[in-house]
Structure 1
Amino acid sequence: METTDIIKDLIAENRLEEAIELLNRRIEQNEKDDEAYYLLGNIFRKKGNWKQATFYYLSATEINPESPAKQAQEVLVDIQNFMNPDFNP
């Protein structure tokens, strides 16, 4: 099984700390691994830490502007705007 599949399974099983550990190892081996940053963003979104999720999504899109992290970040912004329409960044 590919590492990405294992990580996605860990995320689905809510074994988030194990997934974070594997992703951090991937980034140590290749700091340009946009998929690793995207998956970290997904983990932190799942944990409710939107600030950290945003950081990882933006990191992924800096490496790869076509990353699915771009759309994930846009969704986070839409949700934040819906929840707090008076917020002006």
Structure 2
Amino acid sequence: MEQLNTIKELINQGSVEGAIQRLDQMLQTDFPGKDEAYYLRGNAYRKLGNWQQALNNYRYAIDLNPESPAQQAHQMVMDILNFFNKDMYNQ
């Protein structure tokens, strides 16, 4: 889908907020490839450092398509959070 390619470019160029706005509008409609849109929105939120929203969007993508690359992205974010928050478990 051409719109998703444009959004990928926006994210890569650093226009993350604009990409999220476009994805929000797209996700209010029904279209094929919705899992990829959630995956991209997860990537955008990850770039902003909003880990919770990134994880939520990756989970939505995985629910729609268990073979989505969001599976690996979700695991990567969990690994990062577990690494950085390791001391929280020892308090």
Q: TM-score range by the shorter chain?
A: 0.7 to 0.9
Cα deviation digits, residues 21-75 of structure 1 (max 9, x gap): 2212221122771111100000000000001100100011011111111100000
Q: Tell me the number of residue pairs that the alignment of Structure 1 and Structure 2 aligns.
A: 88
- Normalising by structure 1, what TM-score? 0.88
TM-score by length of 2: 0.86
Instruction: Answer yes or no: is 1:20 the counterpart of 2:55.
Output: no
Query: Identity over aligned residues, as a percent?
Result: 47
More helix by share: 2
CA RMSD of aligned residues (A): 1.9
In structure 2, what is the equivalent of residue 79 of structure 1? 80
Structure 2 stretches lacking a partner, 5+ long: none
Cα distance in 2, alignment partners of residues 28 and 67 from structure 1:
20
* Cα separation, 2, equivalents of 1:55 and 1:30: 19
Where structure 1 has 5 or more consecutive residues not aligned to the other structure, the ranges are none
